[in-house]
Amino acid sequence: MSSNDTEDRPAVGADSPFRQEHITRDQAPQYVLPLVVRIEKTGPPARTDALETAARAVLVLLSDERSLGEGEWAGAVRDWQDARIRKVVRRARGAEWRKAATLPGITVEGTGTAGAAGAEGAAGTVGAEVRVFPPVPLDGWPKELVKLQVSGTDLDDPEPAGPADPGVPVLWLNPDLDMSAGKAMAQAGHAAQLAWWELTGAERARWRDSGFRLAVRTAGPERWAELTGSGLPVVRDAGFTEIAPGSCTVVADHPALRSRLNTLLE
C-alpha cells in the first residue's frame, strides 16, 4: 500500500476501539479518561470555553506521541478505546490543581473568548484550563485525583456564544437536554473523539496543525433533527449519570466528514 493510499483512508485500525480480540466492548477491561477543569473561587471559566477546551484536550492526548505506537501511554489508550470511551470530569482549585499538575498529563488552555468578552472574559471569567491524563482503570484513580469533586462544575456563559467561524468543526449539543458543565464537557470530548476516529491520516494532521480548532454550540430543534439524521458521528450516552441511556447528546460536524457524506449523496 502506498503512503498516499494510507493518507486517504480513515486512520482507525490498530487504534480502533473495535479490535477483533474483543467480542463486545463491555467484555473488555474498563478504563476511564480523567479530565480536571480548573475552577477557582473567583474568575471561573465561561461554560462554552470549558467545553471546547475539554474537547481539544481529548484530541491533544489522542495525537500525543506518548499515546501512539510504543509510547508510554499507548497501551492504556488502546485498552480504553477497546472498551467504552468513558470520561469523567472533575474540578480542582488552588493546591488541588497544583497537585493534579504533578501527575503525567497535558494541560490545555482555552481562548477565554467563547461565551465571554476577551481574554479576561466578562463578569470575572478567565480562559479555561483543562488537564487530561492517560486512561486509568475504572477503580484505579490516582490518589491526587480520586478526592476531587465531580459536582460543582456548573458554569455559565456571561454572553451567548456567537456563530462558529466558517470551516471550523462544530460539536452540536442536543437542545432538549439539560446537562451540567462537567457532563457536557465529557460529551463534547466523546464527539471530538468520534470525529477523530473517522478522519484519514491527512485530515487528522490538518486538524492537529490548526491547534484542533473547534466550536461547541447548541443546535436549534430543526437543526438538531437534521444533524441526527445526517450520518455524522452521534454520541449516544450510556446513561451512567444525569441522562437516560441511549440519549443522543452531541453530533460531530467536521467539514471533512460532511464533505465525504455529500460526495456519497451526489
In this predicted model, what pLDDT tens digit does every residue of 93-135 receive, in sequence order? 999 999 999 999 999 999 766 554 333 444 555 799 999 999 9
Q: Report the pLDDT value the prediction gives residue 252, as an integer from 0 to 100.
A: 97
C-alpha 258/C-alpha 166 separation (Å) is 13
pTM of the model: 0.87
The Cα–Cα gap between 119 and 7 comes to 37
Average pLDDT of the chain, as a whole number: 86
What is the predicted pLDDT for the residue at 243? 84
Tens-place pLDDT, residues 40-97: 988 899 999 999 999 999 999 999 999 999 999 999 999 999 888 899 999 999 999 9
Residue 135 has what pLDDT?
Answer: 97
Q: Which amino acid is at 207?
A: W
Q: What is the pLDDT of residue 125?
A: 59
- Edge-to-edge strand ranges of the sheet holding 248-253: 215-218, 170-173, 248-253, 234-236
Q: Distance between CA atoms of 83 and 137, rounded to whole angstroms?
A: 11
Short-list 81, 85, 88, 52, CA closest to 67? 81
Nearest to 199 by CA among 31, 61, 50, 11: 11
